[in-house]
Chains A and B, each alone.
Chain A
């Protein structure tokens, strides 16, 4: 049946020769140029595998195998002591997953707290770093600015340094009596105790406006909840401590994204913007209606790269807060680490890692789908430009 099906499908293709070619594969088509080469090809096959064997070995052993082993361990109740690959292993099925996702309890509350924290992290960090990176790129790219490469160097430098070293510096800057608060005092603001302030940003701001009292949760929100967390907690926003982590990440990652924007900006044809200006558009209009549409695919790229990166925050949390205060800087990645190395619950740790992998895979898929037609808007923009130039 299926044979007939495929046969009728290939009717449109050229008949017999195509089949003959297909059987020899991609290498066959090149063969005539290389001459009498079945010997060479055989040798190449051997050398080919010899050349890639270190890669296959290392990536297989330390990337693929771990994933398989962790999948098995995520189905066990394992404390890291015995050998998990013998019959004695305590197989618990999907308990680790349901404990974290469905069953009411401490495990789920912790995991949901970490998801909430990371969601707020994404919500603030991704737009901030994208806008900052774009603004920096446009400013640096401006033809009338001198010292471009100096500014580019300055903005990019934090991205290449060690995350641990940078986190150490931020820890010092944001102490209760640190440099940032000293700076804020100059302008008459009493800064918060950044790393020990677990209050949510939303309630802090609303409290500052006198709408709610951050210390006295609204009863309706505090007594009802969803997935083990009260609505008051879900809606709290990132804690002040988390905002510090967000600032660190925005500060370090914007340089990399700025470079991506800069490369893309250089591909936006200058005459396109000129044409818009000649037509009487002001700078902002030309930016909005010409530059931004031409950059759309790159903006997608940066946003999705940011989304993917934001779910992997680990180093900064490890150094600056270890999840404290009040678990408000806990992220799924860090929770997975502490569940394993801290609590010796490797099954739960592996399960959290897989849920995190699923989240990131979804983000990657979205990126792939969105970028599949990434060339389109640019080409449309160029066509637009060509028409414009002919018209003017």
Chain B
């Protein structure tokens, strides 16, 4: 397609007929002359578009705004004025209770959840970045017997839905004796099929000549991978790191079936049990929303800092098939 890099506006045709138009695209369709009603219609359309976008945008933002505001409210205030965007009175009680600064009796084991989440996220992210790139490189570049079979197996495994594996995973963890341990939480998530797939696709796009030069210089397979190929894969590695962090930080179902003791609760399983009943007394919404907010913040920061990597991964889902 010979699309010009700039906006393909047919200004050359529009200009002579209506030199006074400030909106270059307003009347482009009519070579006969300016058509004010249509231009006005378009401006109304544009305003309507903005109104719609802003309205829907508010709908997407408001829940988070209410969540943040409610975290500074007291219980009675949150119950009486759930919609109000001004905490009255302003209270830090929820934060104090989450971090164990209030009465010891009504504290929520938030620091345990946070600690567990940080721990498993670190291990899983590190494991995924390393093991996914190893496997992705081998599937893309190394010749070995059974490679195609493995790759097809990987594609099949990718389409197995996670919720179907709830009971099966529990059976295996139980059988291996790692149910309700950190090992049971971390090891099954150390490699993920989608990550291997992303890395394989990336390594396929690196020119072979680079590796061959390294080999001629006498570098072995692992050395070539580690000090030549991997540094070139930085963009893919960043994407993979972010995806792994987000995935393991937000992971819920695996931890739900892999553990049962409160000492292994993460932010997701802890919050879920807190909210859905077993820990809660009364409504305590400010407390729950504060815990949810704090659980959201790390991923939110990551999202706003590295948005294009998230966007890329969302689209890789479309290319996947």
Contacts and interface: CB of A to CB of B under 8 A. Distances in A.
Contacts of A136: 56
Main secondary structure of the interface of B (DSSP, over half): helix
B103 interface: no
Given A158-B60, A162-B250, A169-B289, A140 B53 contact: yes
5 contacts: A52-B138, A157-B60, A158-B60, A274-B8, A308-B161
Contacts of B210: none
Most chain B beta-carbon contacts within 10 A, residue among A52, A84, A255, A298: A52
Interface in B64-109: 64, 66-67, 70, 78-79, 82-83
Contacts of A80: 174
B321 A263 contact: no
A346 interface: yes
Interface string B106-136: 0000000000000000000000000110110
B271 interface: yes
Contacts of B303: 157, 160
A183 B295 CA distance: 27
Contacts of A54: 131, 134-135, 190-191
Interface stretch (A99-107, A109-117, A224-232, A348-356): A348-356
A322 interface: yes
Interface string B281-314: 0010100110111011001100110010011001
Interface in A282-317: 283, 298, 301, 305, 308, 311-312, 314-315
A308 B163 CA distance: 11
Contacts of B165: 63, 66-67, 353
A56 interface: yes
A357 B171 contact: no
B245 to A, nearest CB: 11
B25 interface: yes
Interface of B: 1, 3, 7-8, 10, 25, 29, 45-46, 49-50, 52-53, 56-57, 59-61, 63-64, 66-67, 70, 78-79, 82-83, 131-132, 134-135, 137-139, 142-148, 150, 154, 157, 159-172, 174-176, 187-188, 190-191, 193, 196, 212, 215, 221-222, 225, 246, 249-250, 252-253, 256-257, 267-268, 271-272, 275-277, 283, 285, 288-289, 291-293, 295-296, 299-300, 303-304, 307, 310-311, 314-315, 317-318, 321
A198 interface: no
A48 B61 CA distance: 48
A386 B166 CA distance: 52
B167 A350 contact: yes
Contact of B304 (A34, A153, A162): A153
Nearest to A45: B144
Given A51-B138, A161-B300, A168-B271, A311 B161 contact: yes
A59 B164 contact: no
A154 interface: yes
A204 interface: no
Interface in A340-392: 340-341, 346, 349-350, 353-354, 356-357, 360-361, 364, 367-368, 371, 382
Contact of B29 (A59, A179, A277, A349): A277
B66 A169 contact: yes
Contacts, number: 302
A318 B277 CA distance: 11
A164 B314 contact: no
A160 B310 contact: yes
Contacts of B222: 47
Given A157-B300, A162-B249, A311-B161, A263 B318 contact: yes
Interface in A24-77: 26-27, 30, 34, 40-41, 43-49, 51-52, 54-56, 58-59, 61-67, 69-70, 73
A182 interface: yes
Contacts of B53: 139-140, 145, 151
A27 B221 contact: no
B121 to A, nearest CB: 12
A312 B314 CA distance: 19
A298 B57 contact: no
A364 B139 CA distance: 24
A155 B134 contact: no
A55 B145 CA distance: 16
Nearest to A356: B164
B221 to A, nearest CB: 4
A274 B10 contact: yes
A175 interface: yes
B157 A161 contact: no
Contact of B163 (A41, A278, A333): A333
A259 B159 CA distance: 21
Nearest to B243: A160
Contacts of A177: 79, 82
Question: Which of B144, B174, B288, B299 lies at the interface centre, i.e. has the most chain A CB atoms within 10 A of its CB?
Answer: B144
A205 interface: no
Contacts of B135: 51-52, 54-55
Contacts of B162: 312
A48 B318 contact: no
A192 interface: no
Given A66-B168, A263-B318, A336-B166, 7 more contacts: A58-B187, A59-B154, A162-B250, A164-B250, A169-B292, A173-B82, A353-B164
B144 A269 contact: no
A156 B300 contact: no
A165 B144 contact: no
Nearest to A70: B168
A270 interface: yes
A356 to B, nearest CB: 6
A84 B171 CA distance: 9
B83 A183 contact: yes
A170 B59 CA distance: 13
A63 B144 contact: no
A277 B292 CA distance: 48
Contact of A63 (B46, B60, B147, B157): B157
B307 A48 contact: no
A153 B292 contact: no
Given A44-B221, A45-B145, A54-B191, A315 B63 contact: no
A246 interface: no
Given A52-B139, A62-B169, A168-B292, A360 B164 contact: yes
Contacts of B191: 54-55, 58-59
